[in-house]
Structures are given as structure tokens and as C-alpha cells.
Amino acid sequence: MPEKREVLEALLDFKGRKIRDFCLKRLEEGKRAYEILEELNQGLEEIGKGYESKEFKRYFESDLIVSGANMKRAIELLRPHLSGGVTKERRGKILLGTVKGDVHDIG
């Protein structure tokens, strides 16, 4: 697991270069794409908590925007490595429907 600082630096890089380097480095280390995304997701949660903190505001709106854009970059970079990474057993099908003319919403 990388240091939290390394994850946060990658997510908060305004130029978007560190996120690419971070993802490629983790892939070279043998990490699966899903594991890398989980590490980045934990970093996003840290940034979100820091932004919402009433006592000590560590992050600002610009940090939220930049980290979100960098997460999108990471997903695009890791997308080719995601196929077949997690398999789940199919349990069946779900069918949703409504009666014709019913004005009520589901949920």
C-alpha cells in the first residue's frame, strides 16, 4: 500500500501527470486495476472529509474539482486492465415493471 501522501499528491496534481505516473507505477508493481482504484478512492474520501471538516478546513473546492478530474484520468488509464478482474456468480435475473396506467413511482 502506498503512503497516503503519495495518493493525495497524485489526486491533487493540477497538471494531471502524477496520477498517470502513480497508476503506471502501481501496475508495474503487480497491483490489479481494482486495487489501484480502491487506493485512489480512499484518497478521495480523505479529501472529501478534509473539505467538509468544520474544525480545520484542509481542502477547498478547487481540490475537489482537481481530484475528481484526476480520478477520471485514472479510470480511463486503468480501463483496459479492468476487464475480467472481478467475477461474480450470477444468481438469476431481476425483472422490474409497472402496471400500465399506474401513476405511482417505484421507490
Q: Where are the domains of the chain?
A: 4-81
pLDDT at 89 > cutoff 80: no
pLDDT tens-place string over residues 4-55: 899 999 999 999 999 999 999 999 999 999 999 999 999 999 999 998 887 6
How confident is the model over 89-102, as a mean pLDDT?
Answer: 78
21 vs 1: which has the higher pLDDT: 21
Nearest to 48 by CA among 6, 3, 12: 12
Q: Which fold has domain 4-81?
A: 1.10.1240
The span from the CA of 67 to the CA of 90, in Å, is: 34
pTM of the model: 0.72
pLDDT at 58: 82
Q: How much is the pLDDT for 88? A: 66
Average pLDDT, the chain: 86
Closest CA to 77 of 8, 27, 15: 27
